[in-house]
Structure 1
């Protein structure tokens, strides 16, 4: 008995994968930029009335957010790659991680005022990729893979 041929991956899954990878790359680049900001650069961009201690504290949070963005981008790229292979668990993980990244970045940007423009720009392709993974044709393909 021959195995049934695996259905070809829908184009929407490929598009979702590449938009998620693009968002992950922007997230990583923005995180690297934030993690490597020097004190002098931050001091020149912040109001002179703010003390050096407050600038250092702000810079610590800003750099921490950058390192977190790098780790989140790498994690997103990993789970998106696994989801592209047809694993429905990784599809759910990809969508969940994309939503978690969006919520955390928006909370940091709005609540704490620590938004790096490139990381905020990465939310657009990440959101598009997550929505595409939830489309009916993509969900149907993942369900077929789960039944195998």
Structure 2
């Protein structure tokens, strides 16, 4: 079933930002998990990869217009950005994972924008 109104362009842009961030999180997390580090840091890499998969799932569902998934995706993006930023101080975050903060924040900002009201046509 299709909606009467087209999807706003910023929703599509937010989806692609989150999709890129999800791929970056998964790749960076798996790279961190595969190197010879202590178990705690390897577990953090696996957790980062799982968060990337969850972000991809939530981004797909929020693109379809479900507000619950949209709010969950924004919350996950903000928490993930804060967590990666704090763990970067320890120096155990891969560079790809650190760069994923930028599209995460951009997607969260774009997804929380309000759409323009539909203007009535002049008669």
Give the TM-score band, short-chain normalised: 0.7 to 0.9
2:70 to 78, 87, 91: 91
2:44 is matched with which residue? Answer: 65
1:24 is matched with which residue? Answer: 22
Q: What CA distance in whole angstroms lies between the structure 2 residues aligned with 1:119 and 1:75?
A: 15
| TM-score (normalised: structure 2) | 0.87
2:94 to 101, 107, 116: 116
Deviating beyond 6 angstroms after TM superposition, the runs of 4 or more aligned structure 1 residues are none
Higher relative contact order (CA 8 A, sep 6+): 1
| C-alpha displacement of 1:89 | 0.8
> Unmatched 5+ residue regions in structure 2?
118-123
Q: What CA distance in whole angstroms lies between the structure 1 residues aligned with 2:3 and 2:97?
A: 41
Choose between structure 1 and 2: higher helix proportion: 1
> Unmatched 5+ residue regions in structure 1?
40-57, 141-148
Secondary structure in structure 1 of the residue aligned to 2:23: helix
CA RMSD, Structure 1 to Structure 2 (Å): 1.8
Higher-Rg structure is 1
2:108 is matched with which residue? Answer: 130
1:74 is matched with which residue? Answer: 53
| C-alpha displacement of 1:104 | 1.0
